[in-house]
Amino acid sequence: MSLIGKRCTEYIELSEIGCALKNNNTTSYGSTQLVEDSVNFLTSYTSTLSSQQGVNTVTSSINEPRKTHVPKHIPDEKILSGKYESLDYDIVENDLFEEMLKNNTNKDYIKTEFLRWLIMGMIGVLTGLVACFIDVCVIQTTQLKFEYIKDYIATCLESFCLEVPLLIWICCNAFLILIGSFLTAKFAPVASGSGIPQIKCFLNGVKVPHVVRLKTIVIKIVGVICAVSGGLIVGKEGPMIHSGAVIAAGISQGKSSTFLFDFKIFEMFRSDHEKRDFVSGGAAAGVSAAFGAPVGGVLFSLEEGASFWNQALTWRIFFASMLSTFTLNVVQSFVKGHPLDLSSPGLFNFGKFETTTYGGLEIPIFILMGIVGGLLGALFNHINCKLTIFRRKYITKVYLQVLEAVIVALCTGTAFYVCLYFDNDCQVMESSESQENGIQFFCADGKFSSMASVMFRSPEESVKSLFHDLPETYQPTTLILYCSMCFFLALWTYGLFVPSGLFIPSLLIGAGWGRLVAILLHYISPTAKWVTFEKYALLGAAAQLGGIVRMTISLTVIIMEASGNITFGLPVMIVLMVAKWVGDIFNEGIYDMHIHMQGVPLVGWEPSSMLSTKRASEVMSHPVTVFRTKETVGRIIDVLKSETHNGFPVVEDYDPFVEQSFQDEAESFGTYKGVILRSQLIVLLKMKAFEEHEDVQAVKSVLNIKDFRDAYPRFIPIHQINISPHEREFTIDLQPYMNPGAYTVSHNSSFPRIFRLFRALGLRHLVVVNENNKVIGMVTRKDLARYRISSHFGNVQIDELYISQS
């Protein structure tokens, strides 16, 4: 049976949504976008298969997996969006590239390597400066707001006008959130949230629109200042990762497409290959600036996305991370009035822990805490997922997105303020710190309200209080009430159209119930010296954070570096691993859930063993649009205008104007010679490198690799290139510009082999050839990502996803 026959087996009638394919009782739909010369065949072919049982797929659109009109009842997590393109990590080793390598001297190689280190250093310094700017703005705004409210509370306790500070509080919060959410929803929706899912996608090889634009980072900075100062249960640490990545993407290109200026520097780094390396460094620098954790930053970039890694890149990323935390440390020392007192390595550190020991008998308790963290994290993710689906369906207008953010701000301020009336947890002011920061509220003289003290602080200071305050500071009712509010408000807040981080809310929730565990243990064994509140608060925070985000290696190191205590490495690792294992039984980490709901074709670390029997001939897209080694300008123009694909095989022995017959052998499209990219074709058309052009030799002599790099990353649309009717008859010789060494696979290659090639090499296209080296198909990222393994309480199955047009 032919390859086409295999893909069309068990065919049922075509509908408006394509064809259905049942694999392991899982239904998916194919494409209705068939090439004209295949429609007649498929129509006749169905009649010969009508007697067979089952269902099948139709051949897909050219170069891409099936795109179909998706029924409205299909959930977002079952859809791949067609709007996401892939980054191309593979270097185009054509004649121009080889010529550049021949002309390069040893001095050029040294210069290029020096510039790589220089750019990484600049990324680290600028990321540290941005982090310091955000921190200073948040601290000043928050202090101004809280001091103003505290004065009103002190006055209104005697005048019985406590509704006045409440109104002031929620109005201040609403005004700040209004600014941040309007800027985000109107001008840069991609700046909402922490940005970690988007950067994870970018490092994985997916080009997320507008994610590393200058406008995005400006709105990200302003928005996160407004969000944190506006009293939302968010942190500023997560957005720093996105900010560092944007800084890296901008600096490494040496130009701004937004403001249309070009410094004519760093031109050799204008490619997806180089840009993604620098973005990895920027993300690591962001983690380092946020938590003072340079090693954790390097591991974060490695664990959460980067598919290509080597020793030299590791050193450069570590260099950027160290410079980031050092820059922030130096600047903060001057801001705080202690020049060169380098004791504040990050935006947030956990403070000094007096307890540095734990016993072997506590390990079962750590495991139980990990289980609790995994269960609470799974519940958090499940509710937030349902809420996000609701938002994507109903809250689509800008004014609705802004209104929701303002409502959340009002509810957050009101909920915290009302809790002060119902919580009478009054503690004696024993220390000078409690006398300075304690808020009396309804408490007697000499006492302070523990609930008010933790609420009238920034989220970072509240986490430190839960870590280090004396054991008797918080009553169980206070912790239960505070944790419950933070839990539900945080899951409501994450997903709003405001820049916001999830690390600090998770730490707040976990530190709260971690202290509850310590209170319970102290009640059971009052004389036990091993029961220390700061230790269990830290492990509770780690368990909750791990249960939500499902990070392991990097998160362990980040917590160790932020706490400055390597002794807790094993307990932290235990709670994180257990929380991940328990949470994975029910759902994914929250970042992966949001990625899948957006329809991003993310490629995981390893292929599933359940897909080992699939072959390239079953996975590939077919038929394929190809170009001949010498192709007419008119056909190139027509193809680029009618299709959006980014890579085309270059072949010989093929005539696109002759109707192809379907024999027992698979339909092929000529002998494979290489791959030409859409961006290259656009540059060639713009430069008019036509064989019949009177100045063709002059054009070819001046055409070099720099012409292709200068147009990166925003190549002009094909509709803006003017080609006369006479020039349409000309031809272009594609051989000097195509990539003759692009990777190919045999049609018998297994799915895991194809998957590892894509994942390890960062490919965008993979040509499938038969035993005669003739092109028969093309594999892209979406062809691999559309197979997803789902597990529900031990029931594992393969889902084949829809692919939408947008």
Q: How confident is the model at residue 177 (pLDDT cuts 50, 70, 90)?
A: very high
Write out 588-600 in H/E/C secondary structure. Answer: CCHHHHHHHHCCC
- Would you state the structure tokens that stand for residue 98, as one six-digit string? 């080889």
Closest CA to 66 of 791, 785, 568, 794: 785
Mean pLDDT of 681-702: 81
| Residue 301 in this model has a pLDDT that exceeds 70 | yes
Pairing of strands 795-800, 731-733: unpaired
Amino acid residing at 755: F
Q: What is the pLDDT of residues 409-464, one digit of tens each?
A: 999 989 888 887 777 677 765 554 544 556 666 677 767 777 777 777 788 888 98
- What span, in angstroms and rounded, lies between the C-alpha atoms of 501 and 497? 12
For residues 349 and 562, the answer to whether their CB atoms sit within 8 Å is yes
Q: What is the DSSP letter of 545?
A: H
- Would you state the structure tokens that stand for residue 419, as one six-digit string? 């809790």
Q: How confident is the model at residue 306 (pLDDT cuts 50, 70, 90)?
A: low
424 phi/psi in degrees, rounded to 5: -110, 45
For residues 597 and 563, the answer to whether their CB atoms sit within 8 Å is no
Closest CA to 324 of 248, 218, 225, 215: 248
Q: Which residue has the tokens 């929701």?
A: 404
Mean pLDDT of the chain, nearest integer: 82
For residues 147 and 131, which has the higher predicted lDDT (pLDDT)?
A: 131
For residues 237 and 347, the answer to whether their CB atoms sit within 8 Å is yes
Q: In 643-740, which ranges are continuous DSSP H helix?
A: 678-687, 696-702, 705-710
Mean pLDDT of 763-789: 89
**Strand-pair partners of 627:** 650
- What span, in angstroms and rounded, lies between the C-alpha atoms of 411 and 423? 18
Predicted confidence at residue 56, as pLDDT, reads: 32
The 10 Å Cβ neighbour count of residue 190 is 19
Predicted confidence at residue 699, as pLDDT, reads: 75
Q: What is the pLDDT of residues 497-516, one digit of tens each?
A: 999 999 999 999 999 999 99
Q: What is the pLDDT of residues 55-111, one digit of tens each?
A: 333 333 333 445 445 666 676 667 777 788 888 888 888 888 888 888 888 998 999
Q: Which residue has the tokens 């072919």?
A: 45
Q: How confident is the model at residue 485 (pLDDT cuts 50, 70, 90)?
A: very high
779 phi/psi in degrees, rounded to 5: -110, 130
